């Protein structure tokens, strides 16, 4: 008789199962458009040149060791990472109208986790699990789990993706903001919405901000693709910075997995904007307690890499260049795919491929069509129809375009 | 390295806001957030850093120091790092359960290469964020799936962070007698008495070796009796092994209790840390193992562990795990590592002997035998809180209030000073 006799087999996390199935597929034409990691035009992972450089610097520096970082992480990482999100010259920061703090976390997931745990304990009362948490429909599938595991009992969708027009459902979004209970938490994608690749325009963000301010809703940005969307860090941070100018106290979960290509080093930062330094101080002291019972202190390697890069002008410039390289390749693949589908005369409109931004595209393929793509064409994509543009290369784009064409024509 | 000025961004708790800031803002969401107390263990290091006394000693946190009082990066670690760098590996996400080469080697290290558990595939071992992360995943797993009982029994005393970890995961904390303050040793009868009363199916936490904070470990014969009693009581055993190799200098000896329990039929859960024995503190390398009934159960348990891990940090960090895996899986590096661990353990044993010798030299008439009887990084001096406070205030010797000192912070250069201070506050 085992204590664990009743433990059921859990369903595997979809995106990792997809990669697994891809790996086991013997078809030489197979294409993996699943998990969100950058690939070169050779279909290979890419360790950024600047990262290689900085790794050499670290190895050569004998003064470095493997000692524990402080609970909240490497100070020079935290401050430079927050600056990336909020802007060096943020007027709010310069004029001390806000206090800014940060917690180094394990990737974007870890930052969301810390923010969620803190909010559950200290926001809208104490240990209030009933505060509604709104996540976009659709959203990154782990958002739900992060907040649920932090104890929140009421996680709801807010309208976001309009499947028919293949764009933002602004009216629906604003409508949900208007009817959400006061103090509800809203998880907003800072840029390059995952999975749809559809971002609000500046004007639309301003409308969102107006409602959120008026209705006292909590702003929790998820920023996993800064730099990756447009190729420009500042452009991609527009929404976050705009909200700061509007006086919001907010959280911003940052990931350096994609824009630094540091996926497995787990480099993330939770940036906290509060109305003054004293509030930040107390918030950070409570964050320490949460960190201590979760991972004690964060891993040092990735944070060191990022800190050295961001704080050394030549390296910082090189990094921005590397980021642009990645973003540009994605933009090129978008343009190529759209052009090819158009040339093939594939039924439907395909402008959304170039209008969407970032790593992902919501193709609009339905589950049956997705299944066909996987089974008949060995092209692996998420059941939602999400494709990772990075999985496309000049060598496979024709095969993919033809496959989409064949699928759309034959499967309804 | 040019550091951008970050005066406007709060980097540390306790930093004062720039002068001239007026809080004319609207009220904050966080007005009711209280200032959290400093961590009792890590807070000691913060206080130490602020002290300007050149003779100050940090005997707080358990991080190994060499005889110059400096952090020690193991030679096998540097070699492993060089090997890894030469391979030019990518940075793709690890699986949720971590690096396979690491988790396999991690399990073998704890259980022994030829352990039947590993051969039959009935263990699941996942990579975790060092020991803390491992305990947390374990606590979460028990909280969700151990429907038999909510209670976790910790030895009295235990590592300070055990309680908040289990509590935060939704478990209830209880204790069993362990340390005998009269002898500064193991209260074996007291432990047996308490354990015999623990309700069936409760979780009992055992420190595999080098008990933290006391340094007091059961003898082999005592472990056997404990194993027997625990089986009679039908308790779920949670081993915390953060110091394998560090206690006696011999990794097999230090894992003896873990292996014995498994041999006796206990399907344990086990947390391992490589922070101390490989000096990989900040890289956060650890493992969590569940010994299951069979391979099929192990697969089910594995699937659930992944579900627990994903919403916390998705997948674990690569760097430290790669280093550890390289060392464990490369015969030359492995041998070198065993020598280095032995060396670290030996230095600590030597410091224990020196401390006692110096205390005698100072003229102390107290019984300090426990200092050499205790094992591992920590020594439970027997000092009372008032004495600890004096030691800190008057001698700038930093340690935790419970009288625990990290022997790793003691060197041949400062052991005399430490003896002076201890004698002064205890005579």
Across the interface, whether the CB atoms of B320 and A6 are under 8 A apart is answered no
Instruction: Compare CB distances from B136 to A5, A96, A294 and report the shortest one's residue.
Output: A294
Region A352-362 average pLDDT? 92
Per the CB < 8 Å rule, is B28 touching A274? yes
Residue A353 CA to residue A338 CA, distance in Å, equals: 6
Q: Which residues of A touch B133 (CB under 8 A)?
A: 294-296
Q: Do A295 and B130 touch (CB under 8 A)?
A: yes
- Asked if B49 is an interface residue toward chain A (Cβ–Cβ < 8 A), one would say no
Taking CB atoms and an 8 Å cutoff, what residues of chain B touch A247?
25-26
The edge-to-edge listing of strands for the beta sheet with B269-273 is B123-129, B285-291, B269-273, B236-241, B203-207, B151-156, B172-177
pLDDT score recorded for residue A14: 77
How big is the CA angle at A323 (ends A272 and A318), to the nearest 5 degrees?
A: 100
pLDDT value at position B7?
A: 41
Residue appearing with tokens 């602004």: A170
How many Cα atoms within 13 Å fall on the side-chain side of residue B162?
28
Residues of A numbered 341-370 whose beta carbons fall under 8 angstroms of chain B's beta carbons: which are they? none
Which among A262, A274, A285 has a CA at the least distance from the CA of A106?
A262
Q: What does the pLDDT look like over B336-367, one tens digit per residue?
A: 999 999 999 999 999 999 999 999 999 999 99
Are the CB atoms for A67 and A299 separated by under 8 Å? Answer: no
Give buried/exposed letters for B207-218 (b at 16+ CB in 10 A, else e). bbbbbbbbbbbb
DSSP string, B203-243: EEEEE-SS-TTT-----HHHHHHHHHHHHHTTPEEEEEES-
Model pLDDT for residues B43-56, shown as the tens digit of each residue: 788 889 899 999 99
A299/B284 CB distance under 8 A: yes
Cβ neighbours, 10 Å, residue B182: 8
Residue of B nearest to A293 (CA): B165
Taking CA atoms, what residue in B is nearest to A77? B11
Asked if pLDDT for residue B19 goes beyond 50, the answer is no
Asked if A110's CB is within 8 angstroms of B313's CB, the reply is: yes
Cβ of B267 within 8 Å of Cβ of A297? The answer is no
Could you report the per-residue pLDDT of B125-141, keeping only the tens digit for each?
999 999 999 999 999 99
* A35 — pLDDT class (breaks 50, 70, 90): low
For chain A, what percent of residues have pLDDT higher than 70? Answer: 98
For residue range B204-256, list pLDDT tens digits in order.
999 999 999 999 999 999 999 999 999 999 999 999 999 999 899 999 999 99
Shortest distance between the Cα of A162 and any Cα of chain B, in A, equals: 27
Helix (H) or strand (E) holding B9: strand B9-10
Answer yes or no: do A47 and B304 touch at CB < 8 A: no
Catalytic one of A30, A258, A319, A340: A258
Residues present in chain B in total: 427
Catalytic residues of B: 159, 240, 276
A163-222 pLDDT, tens digit each: 888 899 999 999 999 999 999 999 999 999 999 999 999 999 999 999 999 999 999 999
Asked if residue B236 lies in contact with residue B146, where contact means CB atoms within 8 angstroms, the answer is yes
| Nearest to A281, CA basis, from A100, A114, A88 | A100
Residue-level pLDDT at B370: 96
Residues of chain A numbered 59-78 and touching chain B (CB < 8 Å)? 59, 65-72, 75-76, 78
Say if residue A13's pLDDT is above 90.
Answer: no
The CB density around residue B336, as the number of other CB atoms within 10 Å, is 18
The chain-wide mean pLDDT, for chain B, equals 92
Tell whether B7 is within 8 A of chain A (Cβ): no
Quick one: average pLDDT of B81-102? 95
Beta carbons of A68 and B320 less than 8 Å apart: no
CA distance B209 to chain A (A): 21
Tokens 């999975």 appear where? A195
What values do phi and psi take at B51, rounded to 5?
-75, 135
Residue B295: pLDDT over 50: yes
Confidence class of residue A15 from pLDDT cuts 50, 70 and 90?
Answer: confident
CB atoms within 10 A of CB B335: 12
Of A222, A236, A319, A340, the catalytic one is A222
Reported as a single tens digit per residue, the pLDDT across B170-207 is 999 999 999 999 999 999 999 999 999 999 999 999 99
Percent above pLDDT 90 for chain A: 85
Contact (CB, 8 A) for B352 and B379: yes
| Mean pLDDT, residues B384-406 | 95
Give chain A positions within 8 Å (CB) of B82. Answer: 59
DSSP letter at B197 equals: T
Q: In this predicted structure, what is the pLDDT of residue A98?
A: 78
Residue B289 region, left (φ>0) first, then alpha (ψ -120 to 50), else beta? beta
Interchain pair B129, A299: CB under 8 A:
yes
B146 Cβ under 8 Å from any chain A Cβ: yes
Which chain A residue has the Cα nearest residue B91?
A264
The residues in B 107-136 lying below 8 A from A, measured between CB atoms, are: 129-133, 136
Q: What are phi and psi of B217, to 5 degrees?
A: -115, 145
- Please say if the pLDDT value at position A230 is more than 90: yes
pLDDT > 90? residue B27: no
How many angstroms separate the CA of residue B36 from the nearest CA in chain A?
5
Structure tokens at A106: 């394990």
Alpha helices, DSSP H, located in B66-129: 75-87, 100-111, 116-119
- Listed by number, the residues of chain B in 364-423 with a beta carbon closer than 8 Å to a beta carbon of chain A are none
Is residue B32's pLDDT more than 80?
Answer: no
Between B73 and B33, name the one with better pLDDT.
B73
A139 in contact with B, Cβ within 8 Å: no
Residues of B within 8 A of A100 (CB-CB) are: 8-10
Which tokens belong to B5? 């000025």
Kindly list the distances between the CA atom of residue B37 and the CA atoms of A179, A286, A296, in Å, as whole numbers in the listed order.
39, 8, 15
Instruction: Please compute, for residue A124, the number of CA atoms within 13 A of its CA located in the half-sphere on the CB side.
Output: 19
Tokens 């950024």 found at: A48
- pLDDT, mean of residues A343-349: 92
Residues 215-234 of A with CB under 8 A from B: 218
Distance CA B310, CA B96 (A): 7
A140 is catalytic: yes
Chain A residues inside the 8 Å CB shell of B30: 122, 249, 274, 279, 282-283
Q: Which has more confidence, A35 or B377? A: B377
The structure's pTM equals 0.93
B21 has a pLDDT exceeding 70: no
Does position B22 have pLDDT exceeding 50, yes or no?
Answer: no
pLDDT above 80 (res B29)? no
Does any CB of chain A come closer than 8 Å to the CB of residue B283? yes
What is the chain B residue with the closest CA to A217? B29
Confidence check: pLDDT of B320 > 80: yes
Residues of A in contact with B12 (CB under 8 A): 70, 72, 75
155-184 in chain B: CB under 8 A from chain A: 161, 164-165, 168
**Nearest residue in B to A219, CA atom:** B29
| Contacting A residues, span 23-42, partner chain B, CB-CB under 8 Å | 35, 37
Rounded to the nearest angstrom, the minimum Cα separation between A46 and chain B is 7
Asked if A99 has any chain B CB less than 8 Å from its own CB, the reply is: yes
> Is the predicted pLDDT of residue A332 greater than 50, yes or no?
yes
- The answer to whether the CB atoms of B319 and A102 lie below 8 A apart is no
Q: Nearest CA of chain A to the CA of B363: how many Å?
A: 37
Nearest to A67 among B93, B148, B282 (CB): B282
Q: Is A15 on the interface with B (CB under 8 A)?
A: no
Per-residue three-class SS string for chain A: CCCCCCCCCCCCCHHHHHHHHHHHCCCCCCEECCCCCCCCCCCCCCCCHHHHHHHHHHHHCCCCCCCCCCCCCCHHHHHHHHHHHHCCCCHHHHCCCCEEEEEEEEHHHHHHHHHHHHHHHHCCCCCCCCCCEEEEECCCHHHHHHHHHCCCCCEEEEECEECCCCEECHHHHHHHHHHCCCCCEEEEECCCCCCCCCCCCHHHHHHHHHHHHHCCCEEEEEECCCCCCCCCHHHHCHHHHHHHHCCCCEEEEEECCCCCCCHHHCEEEEEEEECCHHHHHHHHHHHHHHHHCCCCCCCHHHHHHHHHHHHCHHHHHHHHHHHHHHHHHHHHHHHHHHHHHHHHCCCCCCCHHHHCCCCEEECCCCHHHHHHHHHHHCEECCCCCEEEHHHCCCCCHHHHHHHHHHHHHHCC
Kindly list the residues from chain B whose CB atom is less than 8 angstroms away from the CB atom of residue A4.
145, 290, 292-293, 297, 300-301
Q: What residue of A is the nearest CA neighbor of B10?
A: A101
pLDDT, position B10: 47
B5 CB within 8 Å of a chain A CB: no
List CB contacts (< 8 A) between A110 and chain B.
Answer: 312-314
Cis-peptide, bond into residue A357, ω within 30° of zero: no
Whether the CB of A14 is below 8 Å from some CB of chain B: the reply is no
What part of A 372-411 touches B (C-beta under 8 Å)? Answer: none
| Predicted ipTM of the assembly | 0.93
Spatial distance between the Cα atoms of B62 and B242, rounded to a whole number of angstroms: 11
pLDDT at A54 over 50: yes
- Angle, helices A300-311 vs A75-86, to 10°: value is 60
* Predicted pLDDT of residue B3: 37
Residue from A147, A299, A303 to probe the interface with B (highest B Cβ count within 10 Å): A299
């Amino acid at each position: 008789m085992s204590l664990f006799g009743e433990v059921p087999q859990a369903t595997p996390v979809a995106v990792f199962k997809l990669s697994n199935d891809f790996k086991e597929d013997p078809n030489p034409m197979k294409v993996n458009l699943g998990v969100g990691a950058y690939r070169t035009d050779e279909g290979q992972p890419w360790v950024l040149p600047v990262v290689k450089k900085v790794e050499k610097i670290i190895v050569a520096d004998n003064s470095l060791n493997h000692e524990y970082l402080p609970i909240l992480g490497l100070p020079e990482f935290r401050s430079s990472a927050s600056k990336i999100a909020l802007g060096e010259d943020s007027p709010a920061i310069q004029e001390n109208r806000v206090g800014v703090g940060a917690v180094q976390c394990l990737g974007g997931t870890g930052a969301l986790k810390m923010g969620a745990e803190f909010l559950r304990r200290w926001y809208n009362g104490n240990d209030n699990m009933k505060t509604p948490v709104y996540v976009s429909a659709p959203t990154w599938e782990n958002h739900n789990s992060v907040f649920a595991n932090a104890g929140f009992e009421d996680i709801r969708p807010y309208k976001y993706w309009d499947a028919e027009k293949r764009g933002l459902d602004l009216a629906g979004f604003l409508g949900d903001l208007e009817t959400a209970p006061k103090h509800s938490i809203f998880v907003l994608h800072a840029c390059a919405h995952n999975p749809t690749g559809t971002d609000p325009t500046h004007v639309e963000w301003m409308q969102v901000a107006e409602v959120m301010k008026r209705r006292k809703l909590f702003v929790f940005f998820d920023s996993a693709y800064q730099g990756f969307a447009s190729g420009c860090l500042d452009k991609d941070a527009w929404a976050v910075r705009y909200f700061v100018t509007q006086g919001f106290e907010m959280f911003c979960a940052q990931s350096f997995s994609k824009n630094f290509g540091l996926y497995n080093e787990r480099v993330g930062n939770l940036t906290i904007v509060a109305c003054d330094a004293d509030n930040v101080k107390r918030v950070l002291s409570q964050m320490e307690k949460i960190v201590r019972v979760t991972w004690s202190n964060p891993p040092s390697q990735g944070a060191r890499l990022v800190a050295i890069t961001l704080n050394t002008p030549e390296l910082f410039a090189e990094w921005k260049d590397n980021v642009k390289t990645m973003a540009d390749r994605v933009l090129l693949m978008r343009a190529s795919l759209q052009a090819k589908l158009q040339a093939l005369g594939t039924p439907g409109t395909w402008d959304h491929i170039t209008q969407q931004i970032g790593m992902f595209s919501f193709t609009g393929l339905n589950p049956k069509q997705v299944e066909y793509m996987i089974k008949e064409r060995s092209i692996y994509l998420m059941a939602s129809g999400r494709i990772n543009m990075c999985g496309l290369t000049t060598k496979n784009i024709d095969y993919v375009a033809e496959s989409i064409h064949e699928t759309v024509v034959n499967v309804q | 390295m040019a550091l951008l000025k970050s005066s406007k961004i709060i980097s540390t708790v306790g930093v004062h806001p720039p002068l001239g800031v007026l809080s004319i803002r609207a009220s904050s969401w966080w007005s009711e957030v209280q200032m959290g107390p400093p961590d009792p263990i890590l807070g000691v290091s913060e206080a130490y850093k602020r002290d300007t006394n050149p003779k100050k000693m940090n005997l707080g946190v358990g991080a190994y120091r060499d005889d110059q009082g400096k952090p020690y990066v193991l030679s096998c670690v540097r070699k492993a790092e060089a090997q890894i760098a030469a391979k030019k590996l990518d940075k793709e996400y690890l699986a949720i359960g971590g690096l396979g080469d690491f988790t396999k080697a991690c399990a073998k290290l704890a259980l022994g290469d030829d352990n039947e558990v590993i051969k039959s595939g009935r263990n699941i071992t996942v990579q975790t964020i060092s020991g803390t992360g491992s305990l947390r995943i374990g606590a979460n797993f028990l909280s969700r799936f151990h429907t038999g009982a909510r209670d976790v029994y910790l030895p009295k005393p235990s590592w300070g962070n055990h309680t908040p970890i289990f509590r935060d995961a939704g478990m209830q904390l209880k204790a069993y007698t362990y340390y005998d303050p009269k002898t500064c040793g193991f209260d074996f009868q007291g432990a047996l008495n308490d354990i015999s009363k623990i309700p069936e199916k409760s979780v009992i936490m055992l420190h595999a070796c080098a008990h933290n904070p006391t340094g007091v470990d059961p003898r082999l014969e005592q472990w056997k009796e404990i194993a027997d009693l625990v089986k009679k009581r039908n308790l779920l055993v949670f081993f915390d092994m953060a110091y394998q190799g560090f206690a006696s200098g011999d990794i097999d000896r230090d894992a003896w209790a873990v292996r014995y329990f498994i041999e006796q039929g206990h399907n344990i859960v086990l947390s391992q840390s490589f922070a101390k024995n490989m000096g990989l503190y900040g890289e956060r390398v650890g493992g969590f193992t569940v010994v299951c009934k069979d391979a099929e159960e192990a697969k089910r348990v594995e699937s659930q562990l992944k579900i627990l891990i994903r919403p916390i940090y998705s997948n674990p960090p690569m760097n430290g795990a790669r280093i550890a895996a390289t060392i464990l899986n490369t015969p030359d590096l492995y041998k070198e590592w065993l020598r280095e661990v032995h060396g670290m353990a030996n230095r600590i044993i030597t410091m224990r002997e020196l401390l006692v010798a110096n205390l005698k030299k100072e003229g102390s008439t107290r019984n300090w035998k426990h200092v050499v009887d205790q094992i591992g990084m920590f020594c439970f001096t027997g000092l009372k809180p008032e004495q600890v406070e004096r030691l800190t205030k008057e001698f700038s010797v930093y340690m935790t209030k419970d009288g625990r000192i990290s022997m790793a912070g003691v060197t041949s250069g400062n052991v005399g000073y430490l003896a002076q201070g201890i004698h002064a506050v205890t005579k």
